[in-house]
Amino acid sequence: MNKKIRDVILITFSAVFVFSIFLYISCGDLTGPEKKETATITGYVIDNSGKSIGGASIVVTNEGYSASTTSNDTGYFELNVKVEPDTMITLEIDINKYGYEKGTIPVYVTGGGDYQLGEILLKIDYYAPIPEQERIEISGIIYDSNTNEPISKVVVLTDFSSRWTTSDSAGYFSLGLKIVEPVREINFTFNKDGYVSATKTKYWISPSDSEGINLGEIRLTPATGEVCKEDDTHKPSSIAFISATHKEINVKEVGGIEQSILTFEVRDSSGTPLDIDTTVIVSILHGPGGGETISNKFIRTNSQGQVEARLISGIKAGVVQILATIPTESGEIRSIPVIIVIHSGLPDETHFSLAAEYLNIPGLVKFGVTDNITAYVGDKYGNYVKDGTAVYFTTSGGMIYGAGFTQGGEATATLKSCEPFSGDGFVTVTAKTADRTTDTVNDSIVTHCTVLFSGAPMLRNIHPQDFYIIKGYDPNLNPSAYDSSRATIYFEVEDENGNPLAPGTKLSITPNPDAVSITSNFPDLGLPDTQDTTYTNFKMIIVGKKLEDILSEEEYTGSVTISISVSGPNGMVSANIVGFIQAE
């Protein structure tokens, strides 16, 4: 080889070797930017008494994807949910445990966020079958106080639960109760036509009473005066709902109506109100599970055959179904379910957030590009606010519809790109609504989100702007030697403000002639919807093709032009770099 050519090659090797070491250390591999694609949700499951519930099933499902876990002995759970980065979604989390009413919690989450739900209440389901190992059996025998004969078909009630039973032909009764913590006292009531009702109180019943509790003998005294005969029609036949003071109430502690008084009427077979003393059980058949209660479950009818029960709201909005039941010797008489709606409270600052459908739109190059901005509005307990709650929108750039009204906890307004524009391309959208302490928007709660109006595409800082490749050089033959079979080119794809371009922007790299292979860390499917400037810095690696990979009879030596083209919603831009490739 000519000595002059050899010296030039050695000098080139040395210079490129040092530059390659610098590039390797500073730039790493070709993998693109990564973002966390999960949201972490934690909480504690407790019962009515504040006791931890272990083994509760926590399940979340969203568009075909599901995740689940169970609570530990302290009631704690942690659930990781797959959520796309920079995307806000609404999840419904279902919490189930045998013996408890199902709980459902709505949660707004974004990828990478941590969400602490705090304590989640599951109400004991007194109608659910009780597992044998959790059942405390209450038993006794009922006698006639005059004749000492056992009395059958006596209705046995308790103020602890909506469960009830009747005595058999030997006067014996057995009533199973689910006791999850020590109870100071439970009152048992015994009723039968022709007898005076009796009550017996049992003190300190606990889960440790697994062998059951015997109330002993209960004696009923025959009623004096005229007694109804078995075939007398003057006995309960139906129970009708008469009225409710409020068919719609609010969750507690939000300044609204929290209670409704429901009136039921007991009637005989002819539809006439009964003037005899009758016990009615009023209970919640279904509800949102936020601690709503009936304050007086067991009620005796007045002289008009009517009872009044008081529904008190809890912390969750939803529909409550209330049922009135009359236990009888032959079964029970039920009313039709009564519907009361519990509405949420006013918006709460910690449950007020704002999100854009697109984080990045080509707003600096096109007028009229639209972006849906959605406010997510909940009350202090995380319930959706009442439908029709007003949310007011303003923007620092472009224009936006000034007000929206919630439906399912969401209010959406459309942002349009137009003047005025901000200097850096970022637009701040502000949402306001009246909070739970006021009725006026002047003292409102406020939340914000940012939308990027990106501009015309630019290819910047392409370096180096040329390259030199010795084709076919194999560094594996001499690991300490410099690998001159490839070249690395760095470049920036951005707008005039140095911001990333809109989603869907794609990159095309074409060599001429087709004597090299090129790889790049630019996303294959185009840029994502992002405001992250990490998505403006890219690189490509150029490698000489082998002879069998090119349509030529001999290795190519000469110049190669690399055309770089960017196209997408923001427009199109291109640039060329020229390098040299030498055959082995």
Q: Tens-digit pLDDT profile for the chain (584 aa)?
A: 444 434 433 334 343 333 333 333 333 444 444 555 778 889 899 876 677 888 888 888 766 567 889 999 899 999 888 777 666 677 778 888 877 777 877 777 776 777 888 888 887 665 566 777 778 899 999 999 999 999 998 989 887 777 788 899 999 999 988 887 788 889 898 988 788 889 999 988 888 888 899 999 999 999 875 444 444 567 888 999 999 999 999 998 888 899 999 999 999 888 889 888 888 889 888 888 888 888 877 788 998 999 999 999 988 888 999 999 988 777 789 999 999 999 998 898 889 999 999 999 999 999 999 999 999 999 888 899 989 999 999 999 999 999 999 999 999 999 999 999 888 999 999 999 986 555 544 558 999 999 999 999 999 999 998 888 876 545 444 443 345 678 999 999 999 999 999 999 999 999 998 888 899 999 999 999 999 999 999 999 998 776 555 555 566 788 999 999 999 999 999 999 999 988 76
Contact yes or no for 73/54 (Cβ under 8 A): yes
DSSP character at residue 132: G
Per the rule left: phi > 0, alpha: psi between -120 and 50, beta: everything else, 56 is: beta
Cis ω for the linkage preceding 513 (within 30 of 0): yes
What six digits make up the tokens of 436?
């739970």
> Residue 554 and residue 547: Cα distance in Å, rounded?
7
pTM recorded for the entire structure? 0.61
Secondary element (H or E) of residue 18: helix 3-27
Determine the pLDDT at residue 240. Answer: 93
> Considering only CA atoms, which of 468, 498, 503, 496 is closest in space to residue 484?
468
Would you state the pLDDT for residue 49?
A: 63
Instruction: Compute the chain's Rg from CA coordinates.
Output: 38
pLDDT at 9: 36
Q: Which residues contact 12 (CB under 8 A, 6 or more apart)?
A: 468, 484
Inter-CA distances, 393 with 259, 380, 427, Å: 35, 22, 13
Closest CA to 163 of 336, 332, 340: 332
304, 306, 310, 311 alpha-carbon torsion, rounded to 10°: -150
Amino acid 86: pLDDT: 64
Tell me phi and psi for residue 31, to 5 degrees.
Answer: -70, 140
Angle at 397 between CA 394 and CA 401, to 5 degrees: 40
The pLDDT of residue 374 is 96
The structural domains of the chain, ordered by start, are 3-30+456-582 (2.60.40.3450), 38-121 (2.60.40.10), 132-220 (2.60.40.10), 238-343 (2.60.40.10), 349-453 (2.60.40.10)
Structure token digits, residue 191: 């009723």
- What pLDDT is attached to residue 127? 58
Sequence letter at residue 376: Y
Strand, helix or coil at 442?
helix
How many whole angstroms separate alpha carbon 557 and alpha carbon 136?
92
Q: Which of 508, 511, 577 is nearest to 543 (CA)?
A: 511
Q: How many residues does the chain have?
A: 584
Contact 381, 292 (CB under 8 A): no
List, as own/partner pairs, every contact residues 404-408 make where C-beta atoms lie below 8 angstroms and the sequence separation is at least 24, other chains included: 404/375, 406/375, 406/377, 408/384
Answer for the pair 319, 295: CB distance below 8 angstroms, yes or no. Answer: no
Comparing CA positions, the residue from 7, 31, 96 lying closest to residue 534 is 31
CA–CA gap between residue 262 and residue 284 (Å, rounded):
12
488 and 541 Cβ atoms separated by less than 8 Å: yes
Peptide bond connecting 337 to the previous residue in cis, omega within 30 degrees of 0: no
- Give the E-state strand segments of 47-87 in sequence order: 57-62, 65-70, 76-82
Using an 8 Å Cβ cutoff, are 41 and 92 in contact?
no
Q: Torsions phi, psi of 360, nearest 5?
A: -140, 120
Cβ(460)–Cβ(500) under 8 Å? Answer: no
